[in-house]
């Protein structure tokens, strides 16, 4: 016999928040999430913004997208994309509502922390050849030694030809690494603060130790490496001056946990949001409001440059698109709504001291909505209004999507921004949503498969919602 609820219990149910994990709400969810995350793991094989753009365009063409035509007045259901410099993509599905009713926009960044090559990367020392790097984004440098690395990027030859470099992604490829000091000789190193244990100028990638066979040559190992590169790619040392090359962890995306409930991979910040956005965009074939899905670059270094969120590229495109309907970009922006999709820090019980447990995000509790990010006294954040968060809340709750809120750790303990502020500057209502990540910005970031799948459902709900923005 079930006992009747006490008055207090009934009141508690009505008035208080009692968080439940996705696994408690629906234990079968993981089975669905597994399937979704197989596609996600394949996507994670793309390690740079260029890789992601190249991977995505054929998918778009398969699903009926064609390149944007300036001046064309697109009809409901039509789909198109814009590519910017091989590093940004804007994907659009025209809704049944008029474009003047506003757009539903989702933005995610497709750059991740990594080791960029310096303009003059190649040197030889004590019979070994190395590439010098300059780190990109916020990394703990000591995490990047003693792990396998792969190389990605492009080299521009003087002929104007672009050579694509990709070493270490295919089975059987050689891999590279940065060495670390053996513990036996690391007594002084181990006494240093963590930010000095491995310093930026020690992030040199070991690429060879075998000499070119000619007594008259001085830098024999360096020459041997350059000959290998010349034979394979037709590049000489001078060509590094006009190149964009980087090293990233070579780990293949994998399942984590004996229950296979998590994904482990490099670059999940922010490929997890890019992939879920992309799938939501592809699967929402007849949206009520026009959907605009944006892959942006340079978030990890402050969103500057022609491919970053601060570039006029985004606004220029919206203007090109809406002017075909005789509309002004500012009027459309004002009626639109944007989800700035980016990850948040999942509570890690090994470091409870940095998290404020009533306002941090937890693995397996679904997408995390962040009203604001930034640091200190809410510096450098757009701080979404109650109305904006309320609007998203209605959409998620109506679609039955479990979600949580999350601040990035305790106030004043650190902080970090997203591109929300660079979007909101267009007078465009914006709020952050993403998934909680463990070991963020490390070579092996961890997410929960159920969270990943639920973020996809949340973005789909946002794109499918007929709710009119207040």
Return residues touching Mn ion (CB under 5 A): 269-270, 342
How far is Cα 437 from Cα 368, in angstroms, rounded to an integer? 10
Min dist. Cβ of residue 182 to Mn ion (A): 32
HSE-up (13 A, CA, CB side) for residue 323: 10
Q: Could you tell me if 90 and 116 are in contact, meaning their C-beta atoms sit under 8 angstroms apart? A: no
**Closer residue to Mn ion, CB minimum distance, 124 or 299:** 299
Q: How far is CA 353 from CA 188, 194, 368, 370, 409, in A?
A: 28, 18, 20, 20, 9
Q: How far is CA 467 from CA 1, 5, 95, 392, 452, in A?
A: 43, 36, 13, 10, 24
Min dist. Cβ of residue 271 to Mn ion (A): 10
Min dist. Cβ of residue 287 to Mn ion (A): 25
From the list 41, 212, 207, 251, the residue with the least C-alpha distance to 117 is 207
**Closer residue to Mn ion, CB minimum distance, 165 or 280:** 280
| Residue 193, token pair as written in the block | 């603060």
**Closer residue to Mn ion, CB minimum distance, 49 or 270:** 270
Q: Could you tell me if 198 and 177 are in contact, meaning their C-beta atoms sit under 8 angstroms apart? A: no
**Closer residue to Mn ion, CB minimum distance, 93 or 268:** 268
Residue 187 CB coordination number (10 Å): 9
**Closer residue to Mn ion, CB minimum distance, 270 or 422:** 270
Give the contacts of 17 (CB within 8 A, at least 6 positions apart). none
Following DSSP, what letter does each residue of 343-355 receive, concatenated?
A: -EEBP-TTSGGG-
Min dist. Cβ of residue 407 to Mn ion (A): 15
Min dist. Cβ of residue 299 to Mn ion (A): 6
Min dist. Cβ of residue 234 to Mn ion (A): 35
How far is Cα 36 from Cα 38, in angstroms, rounded to an integer? 6
Min dist. Cβ of residue 270 to Mn ion (A): 4
């Amino acid at each position: 016999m079930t006992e009747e609820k006490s008055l207090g219990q009934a009141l508690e149910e009505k008035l208080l928040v009692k968080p439940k994990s996705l696994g408690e709400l629906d234990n079968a969810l993981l089975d669905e999430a597994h399937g979704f995350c197989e596609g996600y793991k394949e996507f994670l094989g793309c390690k740079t913004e260029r890789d992601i753009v190249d991977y995505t365009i054929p998918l778009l063409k398969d699903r009926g997208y064609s390149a944007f035509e300036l001046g064309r007045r697109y009809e409901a259901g039509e789909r198109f994309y814009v590519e910017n410099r091989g590093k940004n993509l804007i994907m659009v599905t025209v809704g049944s509502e008029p474009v003047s009713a506003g757009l539903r926009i989702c933005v995610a960044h497709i750059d991740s922390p990594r080791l960029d090559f310096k303009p003059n990367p190649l040197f030889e020392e004590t019979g070994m050849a190395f590439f010098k790097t300059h780190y990109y984004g916020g990394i703990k440098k000591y995490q990047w030694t003693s792990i396998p690395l792969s190389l990605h990027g492009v080299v521009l030859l003087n002929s104007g030809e672009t050579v694509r470099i990709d070493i270490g992604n295919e089975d059987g490829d050689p891999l590279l690494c940065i060495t670390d000091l053996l513990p036996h000789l690391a007594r002084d190193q181990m006494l240093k603060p963590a930010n000095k244990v491995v310093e930026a100028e020690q992030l040199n990638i070991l690429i060879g130790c075998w000499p070119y066979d000619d007594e008259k040559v001085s830098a024999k190992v360096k020459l041997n490496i350059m000959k290998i590169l010349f034979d394979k790619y037709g590049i000489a040392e001078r060509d590094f001056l006009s190149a964009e090359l980087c090293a990233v962890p070579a780990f293949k995306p994998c399942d984590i946990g004996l229950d296979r409930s998590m994904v482990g991979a490099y670059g999940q910040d922010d490929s997890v949001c890019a992939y879920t956005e992309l799938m939501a965009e592809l699967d929402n074939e007849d949206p009520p409001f026009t959907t605009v899905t944006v892959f942006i670059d340079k978030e990890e270094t402050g969103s500057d440059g022609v491919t970053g969120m601060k570039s006029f590229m985004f606004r220029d495109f919206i203007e090109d698109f809406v002017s075909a309907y005789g509309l002004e970009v500012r009027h459309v922006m004002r009626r639109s709504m944007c989800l700035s999709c980016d990850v948040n820090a999942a509570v890690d019980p090994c470091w409870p001291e940095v998290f404020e447990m009533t306002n941090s995000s937890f693995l397996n509790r679904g997408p995390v909505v962040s009203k604001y990010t930034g640091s200190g006294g809410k510096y450098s954040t757009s701080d979404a209004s109650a109305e904006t968060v309320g609007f998203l809340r209605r959409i998620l709750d109506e679609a039955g999507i479990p979600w949580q809120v999350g601040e990035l750790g305790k106030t004043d303990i650190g902080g970090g921004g997203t591109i929300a502020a660079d979007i909101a500057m267009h007078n465009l209502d914006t709020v952050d949503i993403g998934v909680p990540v463990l070991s963020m910005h490390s070579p092996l970031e961890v997410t929960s498969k159920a969270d990943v799948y639920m973020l996809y459902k949340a973005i789909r709900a946002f794109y499918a919602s007929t709710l009119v923005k207040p």
